Structure 1
Amino acid sequence: MTILATLLDLDFRSLVYLTCSLLVLGHVIPWLLDPHAIRAYPGPFLAKFTDLWLGRVAALGHRSEVVHEMHKKHGKFVRIAPNHLSIADPDALQVVYAHGNGSLKSNFYDAFVSIQRGLFNTRSRPAHARKRKIVSHIFSQKSVLEFEPHVRLYVSQLFKHWDRLCEGGLKGMSGDDGEGGWKGRNGRVWFDCLPWYNYLAFDIIGDLAFGFPFGMLQSCRDAAPVAVSHEEAIAGYGADDKLEVKYLPAVQVINDRGTYSASMGVLAPWMRPIAKKLPWFNKGSQAVKSLAGIAIAAVAQRLKTPSDRRDLLGKLQEGKDDEGKPMGKEELTAEALTELIAGSDTTSNSSCAITYYLAHNPHVQSKLQKELDEALSEEDDPVTTFQSTKSLPYLEAVINESLRLHATSGIGLPRLVPEGGLTVCGRTFPEGTCLSVPTYTIHRNKEVWGEDADEFRPERWFELDKNDIQKAFNPFSYGPRSCVGRNLASMELLIIVASIFRRYDFVLEQPEKHFDTVEGFLRKPVECIVGMRRRVV
């Protein structure tokens, strides 16, 4: 009561001074005490005292590039927050993210929880092991092959649109199909290919995860149904009831949610309630709810009309943990949300990046097309099969080189050092220290990839030591928390890239222009304006 009475007696100016002093001391004292013994490591000045430096960098959408520049300036170890050390060394991947080292995900992942914790954002090792057991078999190579016809179906639908655009391009016509429209010039159709890759990826994952597409390819529009009442949809509704939905741009919702969560996640837990009151974070907070609403509406619709169709949701329903228990409806919905995010944005971003790099390097595009023409000359179907593309070496090199330069997740995923400490690259860190290994920087390590590491050159995949490459190639993360859907992602990219570049030829509208990206949790192209025409083989 004495302290409270004293505070109440203070005038406004004194209260402001006291608050500021406490904030300063709250940041300076931990730096002086240095509980994780990382004070000596270099990094931005503000990052030594506060999470706000990394929060601002994340919010501006170029975290990977900024951290990369810090490593170029300071070397292998860079302190990017009061208790966060970034380690840019391929050898660190095998330690920080290794099986059995006991490290845990940091509170960064709390910012990605909406419906309930899923496989991606759970921080409990037992909970993760249980979920992984249920989910992992769904994404085995054998299981994934069951989804191939659906992938090929939507690539075929994309071709119907693109063939029509090519015909219009030859006639010098223009139109507004897709965001940004298209125009014919010099025998090509010129358009932004990114929205189309978004439509393709969302329709594929909608069909695979929920048993029906979002209809984006059909409507040439970014729109998905969102449940108005989350509680009503999760609780269930009768066969004669109609779920109330509204339509929102799903791609934009995912982008806003990724930026929000990636920025909120790097802030200290006590800062987050304050940050949520800021107008910029309000937009992101709404995106979190909207994205959850998309998954909730899709799951509710799918469960309302039971089917024996072999989609991801059906397989999730069949899965059981060690005690023989299946997932509950809310848990099922949370995992479906994870699949929606992981299976849409990543595929569209990667497809767009591959198109950019091939259009920017015509000699590489020609070399790939020569391999495709020779290997697939007997196939009449314009959409290739996984079986016919899985062993094409240059196709694989092109995809890997694109994922190296444009890994969809470029940031260092944060891990907490377990009890007993952890020794990484000759340095020992105490329990609770937050460590990460930045994929963006590892993928540009000149000791591994050569002096031309910043250049797109698929030939390096045939020249360099395979063991060195595999240690430094991290597009799907590493260890027990690596991407469970990598088999599905690999199959999709092989079919999409082989089919598209066998059928079309691309050039860039502005070859000299830098490939602009913006980063939330994932790195996403801003746009990719290309000139496309049908190939004559």
Structure 2
Amino acid sequence: MSYLNFILAALVGLPAVVVFIHLAIYLVDPYGIRKYPGPWLAKFSDAWLGYISQQGHRSEVIHEMHLKYGPFMRISPSEVSVADPDSLAIVYAHGNGSLKSTFYDAFVSIERGLFNTRDRKQHARKRKIVSHIFSQKSVIEFEPHIRLYVSMLLGQWDRLYAGAVKGGRGDDGDGGWVGRAGRLWLDCLPWTNYLAFDIIGDLAFGAPFGMIEAGRDRAPVPITDPSSPSSLSSKDEIKYIPAVAVLNGRGEYSMSMGVLPAFIRPIMKRFFPWYARGLQDVQYLAGIAIVAVSKRLGQPTDRVDLLSKLQAGKDDSGNPMGRPELTAEALTLLIAGSDTTSNSTCAIIYHLAKNPEKQAKLHKELDEQLGLEDELVANAEQVKRLPYLDACINEALRIHSTSALGLPRVVPEGGLTISEHAFPAGTVLSVPSYTIHRDPEVWGADVEAFRPERWFEEERKDAMAKTFNPFSVGPRACVGRNLASLELQIIVASILRRYHFVLENPDENLETREGFLRKPLRCDVGIQRRNQEVLF
């Protein structure tokens, strides 16, 4: 057979082989999940899940499919999405032996960190080093850093507001803004990004990125190899990139790549431009951490922050983290501590602006509890006594679940049973937060309504507590939830105490796009100072 004939035969035969393999898996049904309904293509191939993941609305699509097919739905040849609140405590439980799936391999850049480590022993080792730095006691030590950058944001918005009331207009250097009808109109999403990045930059790397001060999205990366911890050697090798945009691209790439079989991932990266651009975002994001860690370690300091606590941590053998591992964990802190906080803050502002009666109720609580106190930025002690604030935050996290998709877990030896549905070892299960946060049996018939009062209804408290999943549950839950909660409380209390927000068109929904996290695309709001006599 000539070389040309061989190529032609391969081109004709390869699709047939691929089809045969997928059909064989469906017929053999190694996980016993053929009985579960779902999209037709998903029964045979990962292509369906890969396609909807790349489109940026995976959680909404999965939710619509659950409304059609019921709480147990097949979304790939090996994965079942389980929209049953009781499944949270089973799939993600302590000690059940479930492991993270190969989905998480697509999130590795420098080396495996706490988030994407799949090995149980390695995860236990890393969690022992990392988890103590997020204890409630440690988190309180970070409060001054949080409050500093919130005060900087208020200062910037006060400056823009002063220009707005005079009918001014700003350029892109300030995120773009305009004064109209005695209000400052701007897209608050970039500013919540700047705030979150500067806070986590200070806490994780010892210095902010300077985004609030500059009113711009920028962070330094190495010019040479942005993903190698050893590549940074001089200041001449630095360039600046839009960190928020890179983080978004990385999230979309990794989530879309993670649902594909391991053997096809190199092909997608090599021959499909969308995936190639995403891989560059992964490398750039790693570069941001490399530059920040190198700068910090090159300037020894006695300040107490997340990086210093990571450096001091040791495993059971008394060994500290090496440089690549330390950088990888710092990168995890950057990712987990920036986008989640900014997305959530933006969503909270949007829902309060959309629901003026709820905003007025929160204003009343803030005025009664904090109105006579001098500090313009709320502190940790003050936010403890603000129950309606907590209800507003929780309700926004329910409706706008930042981590909305189902996190996949591999069923361990011995299998798992959920509501009389038995799943053998090797099956992949996921519980979509977006969908269980909209279960009318738990939350009531008005699941799409922003109604913080539901969090005070005694008859729902137990079911809501069991179903609410903003930080995941079990041994792989977010270790930084104490810090995230404190940040949101201080940020929202301080901003809402000072400003009143409106939407130009209250009927417009908050547009989003989903990578690994579900992110607003923009959030245009009108801002008015509540207390004209108080000068910042």
Shift of 1:15: 2.9
**What do residues 211-253 of structure 1 show as CA deviations (whole Å, max 9, x unaligned)?**
0000001111100001223589733878xx5362110000000
Retained in 2: the 8 A contact 1:233–1:297? no
| Distance of 1:232 and 1:115 partners within structure 2 | 6
Retained in 1: the 8 A contact 2:232–2:291? no
Retained in 2: the 8 A contact 1:179–1:195? no
| Distance of 2:45 and 2:468 partners within structure 1 | 31
Q: 1:343 to 1:231 in 2, by over 3 A?
A: closer
Corresponding residue SS for 2:455: helix
Shift of 1:306: 0.7
The residue that corresponds to 1:332 in the other structure is 326
The residue that corresponds to 2:437 in the other structure is 443
Q: How does 1:60-71 map to 2 (within 5 A)?
A: 60-71=55-66
Q: 1:216 to 1:422 in 2, by over 3 A?
A: same
| Distance of 1:371 and 1:178 partners within structure 2 | 35
| Distance of 2:42 and 2:385 partners within structure 1 | 46
Shift of 1:344: 0.4
Verify: 1:495 aligned to 2:493, yes or no: no
The residue that corresponds to 1:369 in the other structure is 363
1:483 equivalent among 478, 482, 488: 478
1:244 equivalent among 219, 222, 237: 237
The residue that corresponds to 1:266 in the other structure is 259
**Across the two proteins, how many residue pairs are aligned to each other?**
530
| Distance of 1:360 and 1:188 partners within structure 2 | 16
| Distance of 1:27 and 1:493 partners within structure 2 | 46
Q: 1:430 to 1:247 in 2, by over 3 A?
A: same
The residue that corresponds to 1:358 in the other structure is 352
| Distance of 1:16 and 1:111 partners within structure 2 | 28
1:276 equivalent among 259, 269, 273: 269
Retained in 1: the 8 A contact 2:81–2:432? yes
Q: 1:417 to 1:530 in 2, by over 3 A?
A: same
Q: How does 1:112-511 map to 2 (within 5 A)?
A: 112-176=107-171, 178=173, 180-230=175-225, 234-235=229-230, 241-242=234-235, 244-277=237-270, 278-463=272-457, 464-511=459-506
| Distance of 1:476 and 1:272 partners within structure 2 | 28
User: Percent of aligned pairs with the same residue?
Assistant: 63
Retained in 2: the 8 A contact 1:51–1:81? yes
Which AA in structure 2 matches 1:439? S
The residue that corresponds to 1:93 in the other structure is 88
Retained in 2: the 8 A contact 1:517–1:525? yes
| Distance of 2:294 and 2:151 partners within structure 1 | 28
Which AA in structure 2 matches 1:251? V
**What do residues 108-151 of structure 1 show as CA deviations (whole Å, max 9, x unaligned)?**
00000000000000000000000000000000000000000010
The residue that corresponds to 2:69 in the other structure is 74
Which AA in structure 1 matches 2:99? L
Corresponding residue SS for 1:151: helix
| Distance of 2:227 and 2:505 partners within structure 1 | 49
After superposition, the CA RMSD in angstroms is 1.5
**What do residues 384-413 of structure 1 show as CA deviations (whole Å, max 9, x unaligned)?**
101101231100000000000011100000
| Distance of 2:4 and 2:216 partners within structure 1 | 60
Retained in 2: the 8 A contact 1:515–1:525? yes
| Distance of 1:261 and 1:189 partners within structure 2 | 37
Retained in 2: the 8 A contact 1:174–1:182? yes
**213-222 vs 165-174, greater mean Cα deviation:** 165-174
| Distance of 1:489 and 1:414 partners within structure 2 | 23
| Distance of 1:15 and 1:384 partners within structure 2 | 67
Corresponding residue SS for 2:220: strand
Corresponding residue SS for 2:179: strand
Q: 1:12 to 1:318 in 2, by over 3 A?
A: closer
Q: 1:179 to 1:21 in 2, by over 3 A?
A: farther
Shift of 1:14: 3.4
Q: How does 1:44-55 map to 2 (within 5 A)?
A: 44-55=39-50
Structure 2: give runs of 5+ residues left out of the alignment: none
Retained in 2: the 8 A contact 1:214–1:224? yes
| Distance of 1:105 and 1:165 partners within structure 2 | 46
Which AA in structure 1 matches 2:263? W
Q: 1:360 to 1:281 in 2, by over 3 A?
A: same
| Distance of 2:226 and 2:91 partners within structure 1 | 39
**What do residues 408-458 of structure 1 show as CA deviations (whole Å, max 9, x unaligned)?**
100000000001111122111111000000000000000000000111100
**What do residues 154-200 of structure 1 show as CA deviations (whole Å, max 9, x unaligned)?**
01111111011111221111112556511111110111000000010
Shift of 1:381: 1.5
| Distance of 2:136 and 2:502 partners within structure 1 | 34
Retained in 2: the 8 A contact 1:98–1:480? yes
| Distance of 2:146 and 2:225 partners within structure 1 | 30
Shift of 1:271: 1.2
1:41 equivalent among 33, 36, 42: 36
| Distance of 2:509 and 2:366 partners within structure 1 | 28
| Distance of 2:229 and 2:115 partners within structure 1 | 21
TM-score (norm 2): 0.97
| Distance of 1:7 and 1:111 partners within structure 2 | 39
| Distance of 1:28 and 1:232 partners within structure 2 | 39
The residue that corresponds to 1:3 in the other structure is none
Structure 1: give runs of 5+ residues left out of the alignment: 1-5
Retained in 2: the 8 A contact 1:206–1:214? yes
